[in-house]
Amino acid sequence: MKVSEVAKDLGILQPALGSWVKEPQQGCHNTRPGNTNLQSQDEKIRQLEQQVKRLTMKRESLKKAMAYFVEIPK
């Protein structure tokens, strides 16, 4: 399939698609407009996963404490 046909099917301009096809062949990675540094995204994901783990542990601790205090006879 030709680049012009694919561009037409996708509804984008042929030069844009042509440059995207050529970039990896020229060794240019992650340089398209709108792309950010993938390493920083990976780092952000790692940090968020750690935060989710910490918050999950806190929530479980609070649930146990709540259950303990609810069961104390008054």
Residues 30-63 have pLDDT tens digits of 555 555 577 788 899 999 999 999 999 999 988 8
* Exposure class string for 12-22: b at 16+ Cβ within 10 A, else e: eeeeebeeeee
Confidence category of residue 25, pLDDT binned at 50, 70, 90: low
pLDDT of 9 higher than 80: yes
Residue 6 contacts residue 17 (beta carbons within 8 Å): yes
Q: What is the pLDDT of residue 73?
A: 66
